[in-house]
Structure 1
Amino acid sequence: MTSGSPLEPRASKNERREAAREKAKELRVAQKRRERRNSWLLKGGVAVAIVAVVAVVSVFVIQMNRPAGPGPRNMASDGILIGEGLTVVSTPALAPGEAPTPTVPDNSGSVANIVMYIDYLCPFCGQFEQTNGETIRDLVESGAATVEIHPIALLANRSAGTQYSLRATNAAACVANYSPDAFFDFNAALFVDQPAEGTPGLTNDELKARAASAGATSSSIDQCIDDVQFKSWAQVATNRARSEPLPNSDIEQLKGTPTILVNGKSYNGSLDDPQEFSSFVLQAVASTTDKDATPTPTPTPTPTP
């Protein structure tokens, strides 16, 4: 004989039905609790998303309405003037809204005043630099010429959305402000393996690397490039060149880049013939000498006795 627990009596049909109702009731209560919890989670998520969107929009609005900061030092004319020995002429920063001060050219007839309006994405600017950069360097180092470089951002919208032209102009302003004596070499470096129009251009890190290789050693330059510190100035200087007469010339407004002036005369010659530009410089200096020369008085004839 086996032993075990006594068998429990089988539940009746009514009892089973009542148990099923009770179980269904419990399930409904649990479902309502889940629905309320999910509703609160959804509302909380939407609220967080709204806060995040508002924060992003607020930052954007603040940046868009932030007052324009001062321009870079050593670019009071909207360009940087470089003289004998590649030494930069020091000038104070432009205050926000302040008009630039045009450079007073040397009209002695002994110096070529070279002025260049360039865009670092402009392929013709790159062509001119590759052809004539070393000639200009030699002229300026020796004191035979000065060069005033105006970087502008005409092609800011032609770099796959990165605004490379504007970032490069800002980087040039950063170098002018913090390491001005490296500007000439940095300007040349931006035309080495120049990015093509329609490409993203150099990254900020690549701009910083080229500044460092050009001798721009100030610790402030990296942050200046990352923050696009002189963005407002670059935009204003670009618009100014496009809408106002170019100082010391008869050009009513900039039509394109490169625009090269020598003693106020516009160079319209070949971009890939160094001899043609050199000849133009000599002619411009000679014409300045002729124009400013004091006429020699004609002697009065001595009466014949």
Structure 2
Amino acid sequence: MVNSRMSTSGQARPPKKDRRDEAREHARLLRVEQAKRTKRRRLVLRGGIGIGLLAVVTIVTLVIVNNVNTPAASGPANMASDGILLGSDGATVSAATTVALAADADPLATDQTALTDTANIVLYLDYLCPICGNFEATNGKQITDWVTAGNATVEIHPISILDHLSSGTKYATRAANAAACVADDDPDNFLAFNTAMFADQPSENSSGRTNAELASLARGAGVTSSGVASCITDQTYAGWVEASTQRALAGPIPNSDIENVTGTPTVLVNGVSYTGSFADPAAFEAFVTAQLTAAPGK
């Protein structure tokens, strides 16, 4: 989507058990001997850091985030943090399961202390945002490869700040609602749906996709539940989209070095905000690498 790289020739390979065992022992020896930082980086990026990630993701601990004065609206399942967390056991991507937020409930922040061996990527996206589209086009596959291999998690927060640029159809809200519908009913296909949302992305000042087109796009991404289509049509989570967007804009943003979201995309890696080019995959990969090697114990 990065020289001692997380991806090799554009493909991330799931770690094998013997490679993971060898990497774990190698890491222990390197820490004892205080080997050079460059060697430690190579180990972090290639040494089986996806071990047990699926188990960690599916039982991830949650902590309370301060609430702000937002409209009362129930949220979708699997987005208790206002975002959906996706990880892998090294082969299959799946979502962390969480309860649905009740109306007026405080969102819950993902406890990243259990994810110390991964790049924890957090994205705040608006599906009408062209820069978000550029970021996905240049980094989406790279992120998907890292997540699939167990080298990273990604937590996606769909928000709505560009309704005024959709010719009165509130496409940004409808699109974020569609994402919430998928997260609620078919969360393991959310990453594929997110990718599809940016393929042939509607332009600003257009009406965007219709609800029927959003439902069709979800089916094309592997979503089979008929409930998703009715959820999209009924805009079941439109109120939650408004509330979660206000929370993101007001802050605080947990697990981060920023107070609040000021625009999209907002990209965080292990709590550090990315301020480089959104259209340069090498720059983003280097940033991810730097955050991994800077983590405590690396």
Match runs of 1:12-23 below 5 Å: none
Could you say which residue in structure 2 is the equivalent of 1:249? 256
1:201 aligns with 2:205: no
Q: Secondary structure at the match of 1:229?
A: coil
Return the alpha-carbon distance in structure 1 between the equivalents of residues 228 and 116 of structure 2. Answer: 38
- The one-character-per-residue Cα deviations of 1:255-305 (angstroms, maximum 9, x if unpaired) are 1000000000111111111111111111001101xx346xxxxxxxxxxxx
Shift of residue 250, structure 1, vs aligned partner: 2.0
Match runs of 1:128-277 below 5 Å: 128-277=135-284
- The one-character-per-residue Cα deviations of 1:180-235 (angstroms, maximum 9, x if unpaired) are 11100000101011111110000111100100000111111111001000011000
Give the structure with the higher percent helix: 1
Q: Radius of gyration: which is bigger?
A: 1
Q: Secondary structure at the match of 1:102?
A: strand
Return the alpha-carbon distance in structure 2 between the equivalents of residues 239 and 108 of structure 1. Answer: 28
Return the alpha-carbon distance in structure 1 between the equivalents of residues 273 and 223 of structure 2. Answer: 31
Could you say which residue in structure 2 is the equivalent of 1:281? 288
One-letter identity of the residue aligned with 1:77: S
- The one-character-per-residue Cα deviations of 1:33-85 (angstroms, maximum 9, x if unpaired) are xxxxxxxxxxxxxxxxxxxxxxxxxxxxxxxxxx9552100000000000012
**Structure 1 residues 281 and 229, CA, compared in 2 at 3 Å: closer, same or farther?**
same
Range moving further from structure 2, 168-177 or 241-250:
241-250
- The one-character-per-residue Cα deviations of 1:96-143 (angstroms, maximum 9, x if unpaired) are 000100001146642100000000000000000000001000100011
1:71 aligns with 2:75: yes
Contact 1:108 / 1:292 at 8 angstroms: preserved in 2? no
Return the alpha-carbon distance in structure 1 between the equivalents of residues 250 and 278 of structure 2. Answer: 25
One-letter identity of the residue aligned with 1:144: N
Q: Secondary structure at the match of 2:267?
A: strand
**Structure 1 residues 108 and 190, CA, compared in 2 at 3 Å: closer, same or farther?**
closer
1:98 aligns with 2:111: no
Return the alpha-carbon distance in structure 2 between the equivalents of residues 95 and 109 of structure 1. Answer: 30
When the two structures are superposed, what TM-score results if normalisation uses the length of structure 2?
A: 0.74
Q: Secondary structure at the match of 2:108?
A: coil
Match runs of 1:77-96 below 5 Å: 77-84=81-88, 85-96=92-103
Question: Where do 5+ consecutive residues of structure 2 fail to align?
Answer: 1-70
One-letter identity of the residue aligned with 1:187: N
Shift of residue 175, structure 1, vs aligned partner: 0.3
**Structure 1 residues 188 and 97, CA, compared in 2 at 3 Å: closer, same or farther?**
same
Return the alpha-carbon distance in structure 2 between the equivalents of residues 223 and 183 of structure 1. Answer: 17
**Structure 1 residues 279 and 217, CA, compared in 2 at 3 Å: closer, same or farther?**
same
Contact 2:127 / 2:158 at 8 angstroms: preserved in 1? yes
One-letter identity of the residue aligned with 2:222: G
**Structure 1 residues 139 and 106, CA, compared in 2 at 3 Å: closer, same or farther?**
farther
Contact 1:107 / 1:292 at 8 angstroms: preserved in 2? no
Contact 2:173 / 2:238 at 8 angstroms: preserved in 1? yes
Match runs of 1:46-61 below 5 Å: none
Cα RMSD between the aligned structures?
1.3
Return the alpha-carbon distance in structure 1 between the equivalents of residues 76 and 116 of structure 2. Answer: 31
Aligned residues: 225
1:117 aligns with 2:124: yes
Could you say which residue in structure 2 is the equivalent of 1:44? none
**Whose relative contact order is higher, 1 or 2, with alpha carbons under 8 Å and at least 6 apart?**
2
Question: Where do 5+ consecutive residues of structure 1 fail to align?
Answer: 1-66, 294-305
Contact 1:114 / 1:145 at 8 angstroms: preserved in 2? yes
When the two structures are superposed, what TM-score results if normalisation uses the length of structure 1?
A: 0.72
Q: Secondary structure at the match of 2:291?
A: helix
Could you say which residue in structure 2 is the equivalent of 1:41? none
Return the alpha-carbon distance in structure 2 between the equivalents of residues 145 and 241 of structure 1. Answer: 23
One-letter identity of the residue aligned with 2:156: I
